[in-house]
């Protein structure tokens, strides 16, 4: 860097914070890989700044792709793209500040990770992608299906290789999506010769003992298939439960999706739409999930386009009537699987923290969401 400082054509615009991020991004790369990456950045931009961090992360991406087990996830999303989940987002914001020299000097330990469980389609995977962008860290998805192979000993070797790679490119986020599916055979009498048990043991030991700044972001839908050893303190910093969105959260989610479609949310009665998607329309304990809200917006846009084509009018656009027409055709998942979600919510009230800090509907009629309510 001192060599480049003497070059009048090169600008070095690195604050102390960005300098630390640059150093962290270079961890796990060889000196030749670092030099090549910085040189390409300098040739393209004639400056070293916060964008140079992205160039170093791109170099790590190539390393990760070679493993064949870990997948590097590119995400341009941030936590503002997640509707609701205020408590979880605040917790993540606080933990995101704990990666760096200042936190280390203060005595703050590196966060281990979290387990995000709850009903399907309510933003668990989306949140993992948003955290990566917000923290400016690589997001590595561990596909447990790729871990298990038929050759004796290969599965155990694969999990060790994947974890070593994650440590080599740290600080990073290791995303294990639907972790219960990959570990479902570890506590049962499966006929795999104990392979699932050994893989699970390797993962548990690593999660407990790791010192590298690898944040484990695990998601799960079916808690019954999760081994109890995974849930105890020391594996994860916290367990959060994501329930169906409240009226306030539904309103925010609809606003986000309307903006993605380049429609002005102010043209729509969002309070009425939120009520149409909730108990006021469907009945007690029946509301649309986040994924169903997104599908509702998409279906309504198709309805509006069909109306434009049939009327041969370019002035026709998405309107409240389109939402009212399509909502009548929807059967919410919360209605089909009501008993299952009631048991899930009962578990969460004792064992997890509610990811949502949003208040209930204006009339206060909606059922309390699962998980303990706390304020960070």
**pLDDT higher than 60, residue 2:** no
Q: What is the pLDDT of residue 357?
A: 66
* Per-residue pLDDT tens over the stretch 49-68: 666 777 777 767 776 776 67
User: What is the C-alpha to C-alpha distance for residues 252 and 262, in angstroms, rounded to an integer?
Assistant: 15
Q: What is the pLDDT of residue 362?
A: 38
Helix (H, G, I), strand (E, B) or coil at 375: coil
Q: Kindly report, residue by residue over 79-108, the tens digit of the pLDDT.
A: 888 888 999 999 999 999 888 788 888 998
**Cα distances (Å, whole numbers) of residue 261 to 37, 273, 316:** 36, 17, 15
The CATH number of domain 79-242, selected from 3.40.50.12280, 3.40.50.300, 3.60.40.10, 3.40.190.10: 3.40.50.300
Query: Exposure string (b/e) for 42-72, b if CB count within 10 Å is 16 or more?
Result: beeeebbeeebbebbbbbbeebbeebebbeb
Spell out the domain ranges in the chain: 2-67, 79-242, 247-335
CB 235 within 8 A of CB 203: no
Give the model's pLDDT for residue 116. Answer: 93
Token couple for 167:
């440590």
pLDDT digits (tens, 9 = 90+) for 209-244: 888 899 999 998 877 777 788 887 778 999 999 999
User: What is the pLDDT, as a whole number, of residue 361?
Assistant: 40
Neighbours of 338 (CB within 10 A): 13
- pLDDT class for 360, splitting at 50, 70, 90? very low
Percentage of the chain modeled with pLDDT above 70:
82
Q: How many whole angstroms separate alpha carbon 376 and alpha carbon 366?
A: 24
Return the bridge partners of 225, or none.
Answer: none
pLDDT, tens digit, for every residue of 252-295?
999 999 999 999 999 999 999 999 999 999 998 899 999 999 99
The string of pLDDT tens digits covering residues 144-187 is 777 876 666 678 888 888 898 888 888 889 999 888 876 665 55
Q: Where are the alpha helices (DSSP H) in 72-194?
A: 86-96, 101-106, 124-135, 144-147, 154-168, 179-182
- Cα of first residue to Cα of last residue in the chain, in angstroms, is 40
Rounded CA separation 231/234 (Å):
9
What is the per-residue DSSP string for 205-220?
HHHHH--S-EEEEEEE
Task: Give bridge partners of residue 172 from the DSSP assignment.
Answer: 214
Summarize the chain as % helix, strand, coil (round to 5). Answer: 55, 10, 35
pLDDT value of position 14: 63
The percent of residues in the chain predicted with pLDDT above 90, rounded, is 34
Quick check: 190 pLDDT over 90? no
Does position 46 have pLDDT exceeding 90, yes or no? no
What pLDDT score was predicted for residue 363? 39
Q: What is the mean pLDDT of residues 31-47?
A: 72
Q: What pLDDT does residue 181 have?
A: 75
Position with higher pLDDT, 129 vs 32: 129
pTM of the model: 0.80
Give 309-341 pLDDT, tens digit per residue: 888 777 779 999 999 999 999 999 999 998 888
In CATH, 247-335 is 1.10.8.60? yes
Contacting residues for 258 by C-beta, under 8 A, at least 6 apart: 264, 265, 268, 297
């Amino acid at each position: 860097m001192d060599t480049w400082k003497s070059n009048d054509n090169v600008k070095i615009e690195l604050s102390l914070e960005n300098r630390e991020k640059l150093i962290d991004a270079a961890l796990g790369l060889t000196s030749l890989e670092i030099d090549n990456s910085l040189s390409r950045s300098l040739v393209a931009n004639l400056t070293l700044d916060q964008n140079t961090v992205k160039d170093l992360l791109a170099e790590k991406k190539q390393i990760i792709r070679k493993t064949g087990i870990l997948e590097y996830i590119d995400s341009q999303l941030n936590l503002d793209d997640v509707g609701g989940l205020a408590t979880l987002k605040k917790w993540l914001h606080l933990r995101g500040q704990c990666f760096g020299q200042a936190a280390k000097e203060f005595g703050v330990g590196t966060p281990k990770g979290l387990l995000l469980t709850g009903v399907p389609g309510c933003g668990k995977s989306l949140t993992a992608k948003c955290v990566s962008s917000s923290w400016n860290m690589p997001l590595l998805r561990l596909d447990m299906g790729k871990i298990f192979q038929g050759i004796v000993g290969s599965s155990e070797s694969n999990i060790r290789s994947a974890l070593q790679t994650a440590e080599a490119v740290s600080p990073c986020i290791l995303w294990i999506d639907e972790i219960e599916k990959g570990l479902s055979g570890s506590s049962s009498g499966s006929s795999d010769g104990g392979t699932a048990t050994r893989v699970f043991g390797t993962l548990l030991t690593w999660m407990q003992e790791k010192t590298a700044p690898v944040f484990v972001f695990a998601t799960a839908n079916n808690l019954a298939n999760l081994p109890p050893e995974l849930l105890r303190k020391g594996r994860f910093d916290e367990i959060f439960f994501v329930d169906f969105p409240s009226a306030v959260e539904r309103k925010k989610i609809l606003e986000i999706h309307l903006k993605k479609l380049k429609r002005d949310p102010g043209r729509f009665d969002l309070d009425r739409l939120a009520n149409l998607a909730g108990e006021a329309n469907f009945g007690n304990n029946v509301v649309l999930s986040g994924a169903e809200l997104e599908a509702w917006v998409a279906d309504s846009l198709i309805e509006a386009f069909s109306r434009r084509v049939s009327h041969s009018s370019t002035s026709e656009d998405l309107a409240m009537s389109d939402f009212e027409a399509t909502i009548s055709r929807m059967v919410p998942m919360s209605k089909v699987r009501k008993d299952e979600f009631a048991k899930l919510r009962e578990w969460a009230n004792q064992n997890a923290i509610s990811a949502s800090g949003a208040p209930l509907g204006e009339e206060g009629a909606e059922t309390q969401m699962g998980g303990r309510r706390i304020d960070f």
